[in-house]
Chains A and B, each alone.
Chain A
Amino acid sequence: MRLPEFINTTTFRWTLTISAVFVAAATILVVFTYQESVQLNMERIQMTLVQEIQNTMANPETVMHRLEARLIEDPRRVRFAALFDPDRLPIAGNMTSWPINFEPDGKVWDITAERDDAQGREIQQAYAVGGVLSNGNIYVVGRSPDDYASWQQGVLALLPTALIPATLLALVCGMILSIRTQSRIDHIHRTANRIMAGHLNERLPSRGTTDDFDKLVDIINNMLDQIEHLMSEVKGVGDDIAHDLRTPLTRVRASLERGRDHAGSLDELRQAIDKGINGIDQALGVTTALLRIAAIEHGQRNSGFSEVNLGGIVAAIVELYEPAAEDKGVELKFKGLSNINLRGDRDLLFEAISNLVDNAIKFTPNGGTVSIELVRGAQGLMLRVTDTGPGIPVQEREAVFRRFYRTNKARNMPGSGLGLSLVAAISRLHGFRVHVADSREGCTIEMICSPTAA
């Protein structure tokens, strides 16, 4: 037989546990109260008996009167009262004989006695107290706790009858709570299945409250947002890779095809093949750059860190690019600190900064200026590369560091769209921050080179 599903829920099990604890607590409480009250009742009975004998001893002439008064109105047949002669033979009262193991010493005795009244004879357990009167007669009073015993049994019998409906109530509550929980989980489960099936834009249902479930749902939904964002990014990069590889490969193919079909001489064939090789080099360049970015981002290279002179690296870059800038009619200026030591990878820093300078020269028209500054500012050590080119629109300033992102102006320039991604990856590896700064004209890129904010 299959158990209903809710039985397996945590809520239901919790309810069961709580019910069991509740029943146990109730039972302990009842049993304790019961025992205390039994004890109290017995003590009260015994005290009353002792009191009665003491009162009688004080006023012996009232004995017959007291005896009769005790026997009248005893519907439950629990009282004993009897007068015995000095030979312990009954003179009056409802006891047929002197009880075994009993002495009239004013103390409480536990006896077994036979009562004899209008309803017949009966042997009963009772507490009894006796006292010797001045004439030698003995007055005995007793009280059977039988009625209390039956009351006590009643209380005990009541316990389960009270607990069963309470337990049932708890079970029903548990069931309702569990089924509600179950339905929410089912709902979440169905949504999760849809998400897993590829509907990444779906979100788990939240009731907008602050209960545990909604909190959990919110956490998971935030996680889904992040995953969706990453997925779209990966997907975008995948598309870009495919596109950026396809373009040169298509050209390679066309060039080779043309060479095969139309080349009239060996030279023409060579030209076609050279074009093909160029295209393949471009495609290889894209994959190599991607792999390098990936490797740098995974931090595989920080073992190559050593003490390097950033000023020296910048100076070498200026020297390297100066002729190219001059040929293009662009002035390349460097000012600032020349002796800055920090921990880093010399080749990677060279590559990152040369990328910035290369870009700046590339986008600066004839007659413009590219200036490189290495300064200590409020944010710490900063490398600033400024050009007088077209600049980067504000809304694209973050995007340019994404892989394959190219601004409209850059689209017609040679390049892979990976240069700044590489710069960003190298900066991150070194704990630097790189961003496009506000500038009145041209483009300013700042690299804040203080891993531990100065």
Chain B
Amino acid sequence: MAELSSHGFQVDWAATGSEGLARAGSGDYDVMTVDRMLPDVDGLTIVENIRNNGIKTPVLVVSALGEVDDRVRGLKTGGDDYLVKPFALVELSARLEALLRRPADPRETILRVGPLTLDLIERTAKRGTRELDMLPREFQLLEYLMRHTGQTVTRAMLFEEVWHYRFDPRTNLADVHIGRLRRKVDAAGETPMIQSIRGTGFLLRAPS
């Protein structure tokens, strides 16, 4: 809670499932996290109830049950993301932030962040007037970062959302890919837009 508060969240918490359900019903929240293992009821039952009551608040399901089945069930029931314990707190806050700021309009065909323009139909990218020559995967990476401008994106989130594999590489694979992207986006002399955040992930920001 303290960690989330320090990230600028305003946090309420409920110790039991029924209490959580009652609070969720009030509908005053922007995002919720639900643990699978609650003292009185499975967290997924709560998610189900919330969705049945027509509440659309994004839910992050947190669980020690990390097998594929559990994940799929978690997401099918109406969870928006699923995080397996143990996790780093930055991972939790990064994912909550991503849920809070789901891309406003996914139908947008041209993304803009500062001088950066991404044409999703033409598959072209420009920084200012400079054309960026990119491989398909680099394009996808940049698209994901641009849709989450100003948010910390963790390595695990990149693998899940860009590569679509649940994967926890022991090596610095994501960094290598981001490194290549960065060399293309941030040319010598330009203000760097892609930042690495120590121990957490990456951040794309418009130069101020």
Residue numbers of A with Cβ under 8 A of B are 274, 277, 281, 284-285, 288, 292, 295, 300-301, 303-304, 316, 319-321, 323-324, 327, 345-347, 350-351, 354, 358, 362, 414-416, 419
Q: Tell whether, in the assembled complex, residue B86 and residue A288 are in contact, meaning their CB atoms are under 8 Å apart.
A: yes
Q: Which residues 171-188 of B have a CB within 8 angstroms of A?
A: 171-173, 176-177, 179-180
Residues from chain A with a CB closer than 8 A to the CB of B69 are: 300-301, 303-304
B13 within 8 A of A: no
If A288-B86, A300-B67, A301-B68 touch, whether A321 touches B173 (CB-CB below 8 Å) is: yes
Give, as a whole number of angstroms, the nearest-CB distance from A326 to chain B.
9
B137 to chain A: closest residue by CB:
A319
Asked if B199 and A274 make an inter-chain contact with CB atoms under 8 angstroms apart, the answer reads: yes
Q: Are B176 and A347 in contact (CB under 8 A)?
A: no
Asked if B199 contacts A277 (CB within 8 A), the reply is yes
A132 CB to nearest chain B CB (Å): 114
Size category, B interface: 20 to 34
Q: Is A415 a contact of B170 with CB atoms below 8 Å? A: yes
**Interface segment out of the listed B19-27, B107-115, B161-169:** B161-169
Of the residues B166, B167, B180, B199, contact of A323 by C-beta under 8 Å: B180
Question: Known contacts A277-B199, A301-B68, A304-B68; is A316 also within 8 Å of B165 by CB?
Answer: yes
- Asked if B170 contacts A316 (CB within 8 A), the reply is no
Interface string of B101-127 (1 = CB under 8 A from A): 000000000000000000000000000
Q: Name which residue of chain A comes closest to B175, CB basis.
A: A324
Rounded to whole Å, the gap between the CB of A335 and the closest CB of chain B is 20
Q: Considering only CB atoms, which chain B residue lies closest to A305 in the complex?
A: B68
Contact with A along B69-96 (1 / 0, CB 8 A): 1001000000000000010100000000
Chain A residues with CB under 8 Å of B199's CB are 274, 277
Using A284-B86, A316-B163 as known contacts, say yes or no to A358 and B169 having CB atoms under 8 A apart: yes
> Which of B67, B72, B167, B171 interacts with A350 by CB under 8 Å?
B167
Instruction: A295-B67, A324-B171, A345-B68 are known; give 17 further A-B pairs, CB within 8 A.
Output: A274-B199, A277-B88, A277-B199, A301-B67, A301-B68, A301-B69, A304-B68, A304-B69, A304-B72, A320-B177, A321-B173, A323-B177, A323-B179, A323-B180, A346-B165, A350-B165, A358-B169
Is B176 in contact with A323, judged by CB distance below 8 angstroms? yes
Interface contact B137-A351, CB-CB below 8 Å: no
Query: Chain A contacts of B86 at CB under 8 A?
Result: 284, 288
Q: Which residues of B contact A295 (CB under 8 A)?
A: 67
Residues on A with C-beta less than 8 A from B66 are: 292
Give complex CA distance A404, B4 in Å. 37
Please indicate which of the listed interface residues A300, A323, A414 has the most CB atoms of chain B within 10 Å of its own CB: A323
- Proximity string of chain B (145-175) to chain A, C-beta cutoff 8 Å, 1 when within and 0 when not: 0000000000000000001011101111100
B67 touches A304 (CB 8 A): yes
Give bound CA distance, A346 to B198, whole Å.
31
Q: A324 vs B179: C-alpha distance in the bound complex, in angstroms?
A: 10
Q: How far is the CB of A312 from chain B (nearest CB, A)?
A: 11
Q: Beyond A301-B67, A345-B68, is A320–B171 a contact (Cβ under 8 Å)?
A: no
Task: Chain A residues near B165: list those with CB within 8 A.
Answer: 316, 346-347, 350
